[in-house]
Amino acid sequence: MNTFFKVLLNTVTVAVILLFARVSAQMPAAIAVPDAAIVATFHAEGAQVYECKVDFSRKSPSSFSALTWQFREPIATLTVDGRSIGRHYGGPSWDHVDGSGVTGKVAASAPGATLNDIPWLKIDAAAHRGDGILSDVTAVQRINTKGGMVQGPCETEGSYRSIPYSADYVFLRRND
């Protein structure tokens, strides 16, 4: 092998190592899923829906319970290469066009990149529907979040606010 190809091979090897180090460094340890295989990654565009409710856990200075924005549910379209392939909604649940679906329970979180970004999550699968791409999913990661955090006061009990957001959902299965 001549010197040019050795240098090229070494350069490519170093670049790949740095790329993988950068990707793994970006995944917060709190939401990592060791020994898992990626089933699919879908992009989501939608809204996080909040409801203005009395928060009995927080008292205002006048001893009355304060009104706060409380998370109600997500609603989003799942896409791959700009093509709609499913939906995400309260549960949290995801449905794929092949008839499969998964519902989960939040297991861990990590802060979003800014105060306006909803947290990154690790969600353990709790139930499955149908046969298809989501039928063997054991965990879901919500990453690369943009937006979705409610800001400002809530003044009218029972009012709603929908905050646009986007995220990537990584569907994982045990690596048996």
pLDDT per position as a tens digit, 39-76: 999 999 999 999 999 988 765 555 567 899 999 999 99
* CA atoms lying within 13 Å on the CB side of residue 90: 5
pTM of the complete model: 0.81
Task: Single out the residue of 33, 40, 36, 41 nearest to residue 175, CA to CA.
Answer: 36
- What is the model's pLDDT at position 56? 80
What distance in Å separates the CA atoms of residue 60 and residue 58, rounded to the nearest whole number?
Answer: 7
- What is the model's pLDDT at position 42? 98
Instruction: Give the pLDDT mean for 127-134.
Output: 97
pLDDT at 136 over 90: yes
**Structure confidence by residue, pLDDT tens digits, 153-168:** 999 999 999 999 999 9
pLDDT at 15 over 50: no
Contact 59, 66 (CB under 8 A): yes
- DSSP symbol at 29: G
Instruction: Give the pLDDT mean for 67-95.
Output: 97
Strand ranges inside 28-159, DSSP E:
36-59, 65-80, 83-89, 93-96, 101-110, 120-129, 139-147
Q: How far is CA 147 from the centre of its chain?
A: 12
pLDDT at 120 over 60: yes
What distance in Å separates the CA atoms of residue 68 and residue 91, rounded to the nearest whole number?
Answer: 21
Task: Single out the residue of 33, 46, 120, 49 nearest to residue 78, CA to CA.
Answer: 46
Task: Assess whether the previous peptide bond of 92 is cis (omega < 30° from 0).
Answer: yes
Amino acid of residue 87 = R
